Structure 1
Amino acid sequence: MAYCFDKNFTQHFCAAVTSCIMNFGKPSTQLHFHLVTDQEDTRLSDFIAATKSIFGCEFSIYILAGIENNALDRIPHSIRNMHHLSIAAYFRLLLPELVPAHIDKILYLDSDTIVIGNISALLEMELNENAIAMVLDPNSEHYAKGHNLSAYYNSGVALFNLNVWRLEELTSKCFAYLEKPTTPVRIADQCAINVVLADRVAELESKWNRFTYDSQVETLALQSLRDDYAIVHFTAKEKPWYSWYRNAFGKLYWDYLNVSPWRNAKPQEAVTVDEHILLARKLEADGKFAQSCSVYSKIVAHFMSKSRASSS
């Protein structure tokens, strides 16, 4: 198993990996997690120590800035911090080079995923000559057309055939593709994986990557959800750790975070006007009308203050 994240996602990784451990389907002592991150973090070290003590699973950590020859340098400067994605979006491409050579297959999960069903069967899936296995992206048709592909997959849940990646030097080929000035890259590494590995992708069932959006107001019927899906993926800009997040599925994130050593964390407070508007709408939808009105009042007061300042 593998997770890749930067220091800004440490808390969210903790929720994700706790959900994975608790829904593995086999004894957690059989789990070994390979973590790729950018720098040392005492919070992460404390979490890992506590999690190992509770569940008995193992962890290997690859601190990119501390690895000899600095593995971060493998990521070209020209493609870093593209759009809303940070450099951490490329970390998963380094897995074949970082993970020990005797490991021939690894399951990567984004840190904004929550495992809700038995995933042991996915780990046992045979890839044969395929380099990777992924679920179709929800915008597959649109992105496939842009890249002249027959299909486009989401890399948030990906089963890597590490032997193939190493033998064919696919990490280098992905970075080479991304560096081309004419490359139409929209979603960082995901575009590279889809284009470079176009004929080598095994398609996974949708149950392994259930996309959940902040714009949808979904009812959390957990047992029904578990009957059909094993992994929930909080795609899109808004995330369940925001105080204004409306989708009821966001409760899954807090359920697993609160049974981890990272319990008692608080939602991120609204800062911008847009975030306050979303928060007010959420409170209204939750039937908390007095609190919603209070937020709306703050928004109105903000604009009145700006109006007075501009007219003086």
Structure 2
Amino acid sequence: MADTEPIDVLFCANPGYYQHLAVAAVSLVEHNRGRPLRLHVITCDEDPVRRDMLERTLAAWPGIGLHVYLADGSVIGDFFVDGFISKECYLRLIASEILPQHVRRVVYLDCDLVVMDDISPLWTADLGANLLAAAPDYPRLPEFMSDEHRDGLGIPRDAVYVNSGVLVIDIDRWRAEGMAWTFIDFVRRMGSKLPFFDQDAINAVLAGRITLLDPRWNLQSRMYYTGRKALPDDYAATREARRDPGIIHFTGSEKPWLFRSRTAKKGVYFKHLEKTAWRGQGPACRTSVQALEHHAGAVLARHFDLDYLQLLFKARRILERSGAVVTGSPAGAGLRTGAKGN
């Protein structure tokens, strides 16, 4: 693919996540200067105010195309979701039927991530006969790896379970094989047997047809808090990725934008937030003191790559080991009070 060809990048989100989509988009543009980009956003709901903010954010970079598509929410309206995630997570599975015909391949990105490098290697990744490329899911938590989970979904026990936050999708081939309808049927049949939603569906339906990406292209931020002893194999597999991440992905409930959320590398989120129409905005804190605490934490993270909650967490562990603090005592409480993300 020629360097002058635009890279098609896909996001799927409800408007409530447009702030974080804007951060991901800004980080993408900042690290891919000189390469034309077409950003595609699929959503189920209109929000003129937030859409205008997203458009104003990207207007600062001439030549960046932004295309928003309103999907028929009834198609995925009965798909299984819970309080942690919204129905829009399934839109990536049916994107081939929503995007215009000239879009033949996309790099899909979740909104809760920050791009740290040129994504050309993703755009040009050789999929061979496969339909999709994705990075292994690290850390490999027991709930993903259990035989019961895999057998229930039809995922081979020896298959590498991948994370669905960064994908390279052959849209042409998905159209030719009617993959959107295959996924629709699978998700409706499995229902609540998909505890990890679209990610479970991708690993099950596309088993044996996934090209593996280097972990640096989808490094989950919690890997920075995973020690050698806890998950030695995962630690070794992601060592180089942590030194030079291509994309940092804030998976799980601990998001940078939440109040008192202990999140590694949150500073890169706040750096790019300042270049969006949401600059300076924080979570809905109960008191002015809490708002000040969040602001001070963001400044420390943005300028010094310090998470004060992680420092407090380490201090508490040291005190516990020395016997100065009893585990579960009030002195150690309240260090992780961030609410779940959407």
TM-score w.r.t. the length of structure 2 is: 0.71
Change (3 A) 1:284 1:22: closer
Match of 1:105 in 2: 105
The one-character-per-residue Cα deviations of 1:204-237 (angstroms, maximum 9, x if unpaired) are 010100011299399xxxxx97852100000011
Match of 1:152 in 2: 161
Match of 1:127 in 2: 127
Taking the TM superposition and a 5 Å limit, the aligned residue runs for 1:29-68 are 30-41=36-47, 42-64=49-71
Change (3 A) 1:126 1:180: same
- SS of residue matched to 1:180: helix
The one-character-per-residue Cα deviations of 1:227-263 (angstroms, maximum 9, x if unpaired) are 5210000001110001202234111110001122321
Q: Counterparts of 1:283 and 1:153 in 2: how far apart (Å)?
A: 28
Q: Counterparts of 1:143 and 1:217 in 2: how far apart (Å)?
A: 17
- SS of residue matched to 2:254: coil
Is contact 2:131–2:209 with CA below 8 Å preserved after alignment? yes
The one-character-per-residue Cα deviations of 1:117-139 (angstroms, maximum 9, x if unpaired) are 22122111122321100011122
Change (3 A) 1:256 1:182: closer
Match of 1:240 in 2: 256
Q: 1:20 aligns with which of 1, 16, 28?
A: 28
Match of 2:3 in 1: none
Change (3 A) 1:258 1:120: same
Q: Counterparts of 1:208 and 1:18 in 2: how far apart (Å)?
A: 17
Match of 1:193 in 2: 202
Q: Counterparts of 1:164 and 1:127 in 2: how far apart (Å)?
A: 11
Change (3 A) 1:171 1:141: farther
Q: Counterparts of 2:182 and 2:83 in 1: how far apart (Å)?
A: 22
Q: Counterparts of 2:166 and 2:73 in 1: how far apart (Å)?
A: 22
Is contact 2:108–2:168 with CA below 8 Å preserved after alignment? yes
Is contact 2:114–2:268 with CA below 8 Å preserved after alignment? yes
Taking the TM superposition and a 5 Å limit, the aligned residue runs for 1:215-226 are 216=225
Change (3 A) 1:283 1:122: closer
Q: Counterparts of 1:214 and 1:269 in 2: how far apart (Å)?
A: 28
1:204 aligns with 2:213: yes
Is contact 2:254–2:262 with CA below 8 Å preserved after alignment? no
The one-character-per-residue Cα deviations of 1:133-190 (angstroms, maximum 9, x if unpaired) are 0011122775253224222111000000111111111111112111115773111111
The one-character-per-residue Cα deviations of 1:89-140 (angstroms, maximum 9, x if unpaired) are 1111121111111221100000001001221221111223211000111227
Letter paired with 2:184: F
The one-character-per-residue Cα deviations of 1:46-91 (angstroms, maximum 9, x if unpaired) are 3314413434200110122xxxxxx2122151x2423522111111
- SS of residue matched to 1:236: coil
Taking the TM superposition and a 5 Å limit, the aligned residue runs for 1:142-291 are 142-144=143-145, 145=147, 146-148=149-151, 149=156, 150-181=159-190, 184-213=193-222, 216=225, 228-269=244-285, 282=309, 285=312
TM-score w.r.t. the length of structure 1 is: 0.77
- Give unpaired runs (5+ residues) of structure 1: 65-70, 219-223, 272-278, 288-295, 301-312
Same amino acid, percent of matched pairs = 26
Change (3 A) 1:269 1:215: farther
Letter paired with 1:99: L
- SS of residue matched to 1:262: coil
Q: Counterparts of 1:214 and 1:143 in 2: how far apart (Å)?
A: 16
